Amino acid sequence: MILQNKYVLLGITGGIAAYKAVELLRLLKKAGAYVTVIMTESAKKFVGITTFEVLSENPVLSDLYFDTDASVKHIELAKKADAAIIAPATANTIGKLANGLADNALTTTLLAVTCPVMVCPSMNSDMYQNIRVQRNLDILEKDGWHILDPDSGVLACKTTGAGRLPEPWFIFDRIEAMLTRKDMKGKRVLISAGPTVEAIDPVRYVSNHSSGKMGYAVARAAEKRGAVVTLVSGPVHLDSPVGVTRINVESCDEMAVQMLSRLGEVDIIIKVAAVADYKPIDPKSSKIKKKDGHSELTLNMVENLDILKLIGEKKTKNQFLVGFAAETDDLEKNAVLKIKKKNLDMIAANIVGADDSGFKADTNKVKLIFRDGSFSDIPLMKKNEVADILIDHIIEKML
């Protein structure tokens, strides 16, 4: 959402990773950004301009003096830009920019921008470690530009070390973070997400349909807004949100230990996890075998710990506690009862069971209910949008 209708300059320089800029451009366009690509002469030796012109639906700026159209194109672009990214950024271009040189369309435009800038260095690891390159990166960072550290691994030049351009999805994620207002800076947030699994025997378990998508969206949103986020996660098939500390757990008991031991270190606790209400009383240490094809198996279950209630009992008055309620009936009534019973500050109640809301969906329809009895309806929208609105309300209530 943050990139919707934003003017983005994508600078591409003459590095072997220039091909990755194609995918980055695609992601920026998909997010609704207006992108103008600026290429150095060397960049054009690695990837042709046609691909970028077609994907960006814009002419590529490369020759400062060509097609000026009686306008000063680079200044016009610089003025309009909401963000500028150089990916990949060569040692050469980094050096020029650190020293205020402007000898081509990219460096000239970049010296004129006032928007946030992200530089993504990519080169051979010895070049990257070179003291002059490091000095130039330091200068750019101290001057307020964002430097995205390169990945480590085997590089195109067959050496191993730091210097590889991060994957396009990662660069895109950090561009979003760069543009997001940091209204959670200084806040420490503890989030639980996903299901728990309760062992029946070493190969079977009792669990639920929680995908973890909502909790992960909240973790991503809080991190992008500047919070220090710890995510205690049950087993899910999701990538870890960038910049978030993820702790994997399986059972409710494990989740309780991880959540409760961190309570003293956080300002906000958001319990999104769908913790199994019951667990088998007596999980077997070896696999339960079938017998004659007609045998019956009775599973005796016992109630699990109520993690949310335990946190509610321990929380201080400066901490803000949010619970999620996944209900199938009497949504509001049950949510209000839960706020009181568990000492919550807010509850996000969602109806599970509908295709477009609840556990596995990418969208959710949520009713936020507060301690003072007020409430706010969030209409059906993507879970990452729901997460941002949820955080807006937490910040408002904490002020």
Catalytic residues: 157
Tell me how many residues contact ligand FMN (CB under 6 A).
Answer: 15
Q: Which two tokens stand for residue 344?
A: 């919550």
Placement of tokens 């997400």 in the chain: 193
Q: How far is the CB of 102 from ligand FMN (least distance, A)?
A: 12
- Taking CA atoms, 259 is separated from 34, 74, 247, in Å, by 42, 52, 10
List phi, psi (to 5°) of 152. -105, 155
Q: How far is the CB of 150 from ligand FMN (least distance, A)?
A: 10
Amino acid identity at 29: K
List phi, psi (to 5°) of 204. -125, 155
Name the segment binding ligand FMN (CB under 6 A); options: 11-19, 24-32, 267-275, 333-341: 11-19
Among 11, 13, 304, 350, binds ligand FMN (CB under 6 A): 13
Among 23, 27, 34, 42, binds ligand FMN (CB under 6 A): 42
Q: Which of residues 48-77 bind ligand FMN (CB under 6 A)?
A: none
Beta bridge partners of 271: 192, 323
Report d(CA 50, CA 315) in Å as an integer: 58
Q: How far is the CB of 163 from ligand FMN (least distance, A)?
A: 7
Name the segment binding ligand FMN (CB under 6 A); options: 40-48, 112-120, 225-233, 368-376: 40-48
Report d(CA 278, CA 324) in Å as an integer: 18
Strand residue runs (E) in 16-123 = 34-39, 83-89, 117-121
Q: Which of residues 85-124 bind ligand FMN (CB under 6 A)?
A: 90-93, 122-123
Which residue, 10 or 228, is less far from ligand FMN as judged by CB?
A: 10
Among 36, 40, 62, 125, binds ligand FMN (CB under 6 A): 40
Q: How far is the CB of 126 from ligand FMN (least distance, A)?
A: 11
Beta bridge partners of 39: 12
Positions touching ligand FMN (CB under 6 A) are 13-17, 40, 42-43, 90-93, 122-123, 127
